[in-house]
Amino acid sequence: MFVAQQLTKTFGRGRRTVDAVKAVDFTVVEGDITTIVGESGSGKSTLARMVLGLLPITSGTLTFEGRDVTHLRGAARRAYWRDVQAVFQDPFAAFNQFFTVRRLLERSLRLLGDARDGRQRMEEALAHVGFAAADVLDRYPHELSGGQRQRVMIARALMMRPKVLVADEATSMLDASLRVNVLNVLTDLRDELDMTILFITHDIGQACYIADRVMVLEHGVLVEQGPAEDVIFRPQQEYTQRLLADVPKLHQLPDPGPAGSAAVAST
């Protein structure tokens, strides 16, 4: 679906440059969940934003379904965004707190222009993330849990009927039980709609949970990539081994205090 060759992003000029992504080569296969994993600052979001056409690419090439999409602009970029949709980390940021879910989704539908089947699209998209439209459309953001908000954001992306969903730390702000719920939504989308998903996370544990393929970024360099079972069970790089060594620590259950149980109860 995507082929990236020597994809590079350099921020700044002169001596004050940051090489955020350095000559990265990769392929994203249709119908796969491909996870980009790496520590904070490794260049994951920069890479995702280049793939989304949100950040100019310094050098290298990116193709989507065989077409060059390295430097898209204007109408071509808007057409690309119908095929390639994003879900970001903070579902709060995308919500206007005075808008119901219906109004939020209707505004997105208007971007489609001719949306005669809008209502059907909305209901279908909500069903894909496990909501009955009647249960959620008239709710305000504060009436939804973090996981529910993130599922609404995924539904909003799905209304465009994209071919690819880019999820950038889309589960990072959720507690463990809600996170699994959203990860399961993503695997269902792959299984039921054959959706191609690019999932960005700092947590290799989540990559273990959902990925078909894993790409490991270290300081902007793609140090390891391959089928998930190879990268996770037979990591070749010391950096990947180190990320994997942290998994049990990350997934230890926190002390279940009153706040923790309240968060789970509100799902």
Of the two residues 45 and 148, which places its CB atom closer to ligand ATP in the complex? 45
Q: Tokens for 264?
A: 């789970």
Of the two residues 163 and 202, which places its CB atom closer to ligand ATP in the complex? 202
Residue numbers at the binding site for ligand ATP (CB under 6 A) = 11-12, 18, 20, 38, 40-46, 202
Min dist. Cβ of residue 14 to ligand ATP (A):
13
Q: CA-to-CA distance for 222 and 86, rounded, in angstroms? A: 22
Of the two residues 90 and 124, which places its CB atom closer to ligand ATP in the complex? 90
Q: CA-to-CA distance for 127 and 209, rounded, in angstroms? A: 23
Min dist. Cβ of residue 21 to ligand ATP (A):
7
Min dist. Cβ of residue 150 to ligand ATP (A):
17
Of the two residues 122 and 167, which places its CB atom closer to ligand ATP in the complex? 167
Q: Quick one: which H or E segment has residue 62?
A: strand 59-64
| Residue 100, number of CB atoms within 10 A of its CB | 16
CA dihedral 206, 90, 23, 210 (to 10 degrees): 20
Of the two residues 108 and 171, which places its CB atom closer to ligand ATP in the complex? 171
Strand partners, 197: 33, 165
Min dist. Cβ of residue 144 to ligand ATP (A):
25
CA 184 from chain centre, in angstroms, equals 13
Q: Tokens for 53?
A: 């056409």
Min dist. Cβ of residue 192 to ligand ATP (A):
29
